[in-house]
């Protein structure tokens, strides 16, 4: 029983279970994260210390939530919702920080065992993902609808897999790093291509973009780790700073749809959302509207009716959509909208610290580049898909940091006389 409360056992259990949960029950990632953190704390109590000490980068989201997110209730449209969300996100962030601290405190052999657990878990998760995408989500259909999910006229249920494939577009990079360390690119590269093939079969355009962004980040950072990561940090700060202005200066969505006849209806709706969000940010640029206020922004529930025939487009552009549903489908714009320039500055600081952590270990170019790919993929999903504060999504981002940290544990880069395509040892 005592061994089950060791930090290593908690981390191995999380690394093994998280990938399968990401596919079949992504909402369960939050209780998983909290339970693992409680296990690590219980282990510290049982041993009489030492207590986990989270890295500096882990304090930025926690401090931001406590020092700015919670006080934003004073000017929020829904003060009680702001306070409750600040509390729940603080619990999640504290849990994630505890797990990162526990990982940092493990010995190299123990980290190697956590990495092996993730290898096994990611392999199982990828197999489940393949079954769900290729067989029209049979397990998720049953979990969501019961036997009724298999009746009625044939139709696609692949939307049920979107969360899982989006998470795997991020987690595949630390998975590929571990495979590269053990078996080289002859095993890691086919896994990346297999996930891309699965993403192409699915319905998530975000996952496909995330995989492409990860591949581009890997290629650039692998060529020149420190210059590229410093450039990325500068670029990210610029993007965060300019996001509200860009959202307001984009051409009218209908004009873009006419210029690009192949623009999907969903992309047209995102453009409407971002235009509306940019205008609302301009009304409260410094403080924002308050944490978790996106769903209550004045005018956000107004619906836009669209029924336009565009030359060169196979079907009319049709829509009946609110200007702002529950969130803006862009994490940076949501930061600005709800927490203003102060919240956006905290987000930019977090991104710079992550880039800095990567370039400080640039003596291993391939692992550093795969870490950058993980970051790039995560940023694509943050920028175009889920609500920034959804509990399961915040938990998934903390688990992404944990899994990437386990994979990035010091290994041996290919040295003189050894090709970077060769298998590399994983510390055992």
CB 374 within 8 A of CB 173: yes
CA–CA distance, 269 with 275 (Å, rounded to integer): 10
CA–CA distance, 114 with 196 (Å, rounded to integer): 26
Q: Taking Cα atoms as reference points, which of 231, 182, 189, 221 lies closest to residue 365?
A: 221
In a domain, 290, yes or no: no
Q: What angle in degrees, to the nearest 10, is found between the helix axes of 108-134 and 138-145? A: 80
Structure tokens at 325: 């549903």
In a domain, 335, yes or no: yes
CB 310 within 8 A of CB 258: yes
Widest Cα–Cα separation across the chain: 72
Residues paired with 318 in a beta bridge: 307
How confident is the model at residue 422, as a pLDDT?
A: 38
Give the 3-state DSSP-derived string for the chain, with helices as H, strands as E and coil as C. CCHHHCHHHHHHHHHHHHHHHHHHCHHHHHHHHHHHHHHHHHHHHHHCCCCCCCCHHHHHHHHHHHHHHCHHHHCCCCHHHHHHHHHHHHHHHHHHHHHHHHHHCCCHHHHHHHHHHHHHHHHHHHHHHHHHHHCCCHHHHHHHHHHHHHCCCCCCCHHHHHHHHHHHHHHHHHHHHHHHHHHCHHHHHHHHHHHHHHHHHCCCHHHHHHHHHHHHHHHHHHHCHHHHHHHHHHHHHHHHHHHHHHHHHCCCHHHHHHHCCCCCHHHHHHHHHHHHHHHHHHHCCCCCCCCCCHHHCCCCCCEEEEEECCCCCCCCEEEEEECCCCCCCCHHHHHHHHHHHHHHHHHHHHHHHHHHHHHCCCCCHHHHHHHHHHHHHHHHHHHHCCCCCCHHHHHHHHHHHHHHHHHCCCCCCCCCCCCCCCCCCCCC
The number of domains in the chain is 1
Tokens 């940076």 map to which residue? 332
CB 46 within 8 A of CB 2: yes
User: Which residues span the domain enclosing 230?
Assistant: 3-144+160-243+331-407
CA–CA distance, 386 with 170 (Å, rounded to integer): 14
CA–CA distance, 128 with 143 (Å, rounded to integer): 14
CA–CA distance, 57 with 390 (Å, rounded to integer): 21
HSE-up of 346 (CA within 13 Å, CB side)? 22
Q: Taking Cα atoms as reference points, which of 208, 192, 170 lies closest to residue 399?
A: 170
In a domain, 273, yes or no: no
How confident is the model at residue 415, as a pLDDT?
A: 34
Q: What angle in degrees, to the nearest 10, is found between the helix axes of 7-24 and 138-145? A: 90
CA–CA distance, 400 with 18 (Å, rounded to integer): 10
Q: What angle in degrees, to the nearest 10, is found between the helix axes of 265-283 and 225-249? A: 80
How confident is the model at residue 153, as a pLDDT?
A: 66
Per-10-residue mean pLDDT of the chain, 428 residues long, equals: 72 96 96 95 81 75 84 93 94 93 90 94 95 93 83 80 94 93 89 90 90 95 94 96 92 80 78 91 95 91 76 71 87 95 93 91 90 95 91 95 87 39 40
Task: State pTM to two decimals.
Answer: 0.89
CA–CA distance, 335 with 338 (Å, rounded to integer): 6
How confident is the model at residue 410, as a pLDDT?
A: 63
How confident is the model at residue 360, as a pLDDT?
A: 87
In a domain, 168, yes or no: yes
Q: How many residues does the chain have?
A: 428
How confident is the model at residue 424, as a pLDDT?
A: 43
Q: How far is CA 18 from CA 164, 171, 363, in A?
A: 11, 10, 30
In a domain, 291, yes or no: no
Structure tokens at 353: 């610290």
In a domain, 375, yes or no: yes
Structure tokens at 41: 């704390």
Tokens 């998760």 map to which residue? 125
In a domain, 422, yes or no: no
In a domain, 200, yes or no: yes
């Amino acid at each position: 029983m005592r061994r089950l409360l060791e930090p290593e056992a908690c981390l191995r259990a999380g690394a093994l279970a998280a990938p399968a949960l990401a596919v079949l029950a992504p909402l369960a990632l939050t209780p998983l994260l909290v339970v693992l953190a409680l296990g690590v704390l219980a282990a510290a109590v049982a041993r009489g210390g030492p207590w986990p000490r989270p890295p500096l980068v882990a304090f930025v989201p926690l401090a931001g939530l406590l020092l700015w997110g919670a006080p934003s209730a004073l000017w929020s449209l829904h003060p009680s919702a702001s306070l409750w969300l600040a509390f729940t996100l603080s619990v999640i962030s504290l849990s994630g920080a505890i797990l990162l601290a526990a990982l940092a405190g493990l010995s190299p052999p123990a980290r190697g065992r956590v990495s092996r657990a993730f290898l096994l878990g990611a392999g199982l998760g990828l197999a489940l993902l393949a079954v769900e995408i290729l067989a029209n989500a049979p397990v998720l259909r049953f979990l969501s609808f019961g036997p009724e999910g298999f009746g009625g006229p044939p139709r696609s249920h692949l939307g049920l897999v979107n969360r899982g494939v989006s998470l795997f577009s991020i987690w595949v990079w630390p998975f590929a790093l571990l495979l590269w360390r053990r078996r080289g690119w002859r095993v890691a590269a086919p896994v990346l291509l297999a996930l891309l093939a699965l993403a192409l079969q699915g319905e998530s355009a975000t996952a496909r973009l995330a995989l492409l962004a990860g591949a581009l980040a890997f290629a650039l950072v692998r060529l020149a780790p420190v210059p590229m990561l410093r450039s990325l940090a500068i670029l990210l700060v610029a993007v965060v700073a300019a996001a509200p202005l860009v959202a307001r200066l984009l051409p009218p969505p209908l004009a873009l749809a006419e210029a690009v006849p192949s623009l999907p209806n969903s992309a047209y709706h995102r453009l409407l959302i971002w235009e509306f969000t940019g205008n609302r940010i301009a009304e409260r640029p410094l403080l924002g509207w308050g944490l978790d206020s996106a769903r209550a922004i004045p005018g956000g529930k107004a619906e836009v009716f669209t029924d336009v025939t565009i030359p060169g487009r196979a079907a009319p552009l049709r829509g009946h959509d609110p200007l702002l549903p529950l969130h803006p489908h862009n994490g940076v714009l949501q930061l600005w909208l709800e927490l203003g320039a102060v919240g956006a500055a905290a987000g930019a600081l977090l991104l710079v610290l992550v880039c800095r952590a990567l370039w400080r270990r640039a003596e291993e170019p391939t692992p550093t580049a795969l870490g950058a790919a993980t970051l790039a993929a995560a940023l694509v999903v943050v920028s175009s898909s889920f609500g920034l504060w959804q509990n399961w999504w915040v938990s998934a981002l903390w688990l992404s940091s944990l899994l990437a940290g386990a994979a990035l544990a010091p290994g041996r880069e290919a040295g003189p006389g050894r090709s970077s395509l060769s298998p590399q040892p994983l510390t055992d």
